[in-house]
Amino acid sequence: MALGRSYFVTGTDTEVGKTFVSAALLTAAANVGVQTAAVKPVASGCEQTEHGLRNEDALLLQEAMTLQLPYQQVNPFALEPAIAPHIAAIEAGKQLNVSRMAGVCRGVMCAGADLVLIEGAGGWRTPLGPRAFLSQLPRELNTPVILVVGMQLGCINHALLTAEAIRHDGLPLAGWVANFVRPGMARAEENLATLEALLPAPLLGVVPHSESRDYREAAQHLDIRPLLPA
């Protein structure tokens, strides 16, 4: 079976809307008939349920994608405390293994979807252990990267440094999304123009701030054509 397009989704920081934008990208793809799947390899802040630990972000991705996959395949490493994953793993007596994560991701990548999104946790250089970082996962999978820029004060510096780190790690930046996480950003248009001029990748969309946080509505602001085969 031919592999579809796969991308790793990272953000300029934590709480910049990676999952929200990922779900919107999945929806935008589904709206044009594209089969989609997603993985959240590691997630902290999970809740105990009758089915085991469940993460709100992973469940949202599971809802937004078109393929039906078991939760354990969408979120293989689920951690309860809402803290940095490597600290949560230590407290839980678990080891976050990049090779195991890559194996799960490859399984999803081979499941028949045309578009697969692999969503990171936190920013690009999130630690998984003493000498391991989540940024090693897209390197092992050789996947291009989508950057979610949380549009707020300081976003230009964060975006440029993240793009620089992605390039330094030998991966292409496939595109970026401007996500307005808060209302009323000062000089929003000027910040957008600066980012468009300096980031070496296409702008996939500008997602306005919305109190409803409806990813289906946000999908209307995205252009997924650069992510799909020509």
- Cα separation, 154 vs 166, in Å, equals 19
- Cα separation, 203 vs 182, in Å, equals 19
Name the residue among 33, 35, 106, 34 with its Cα closest to residue 73.
106
Going 75 to 182 to 13 to 165, the CA torsion angle's sign is positive
Q: Beta 132-133 vs 127-129: how paired, if at all? A: antiparallel
Burial class (CB in 10 A: 0-12, 13-18, 19+), 76: buried
**18 has catalytic annotation:** no
CB 140 within 8 Å of CB 169: no
Alpha-carbon dihedral angle through residues 182, 186, 187, 188, given to the nearest 10 degrees: 10
CB 211 within 8 Å of CB 180: no
Going 205 to 211 to 215 to 219, the CA torsion angle's sign is negative
Catalytic residue among 18, 40, 86, 221: 40
DSSP letters, 32-57, are TT--EEEE--EE-S-EEETTEEE-HH
> Catalytic amino acids?
40
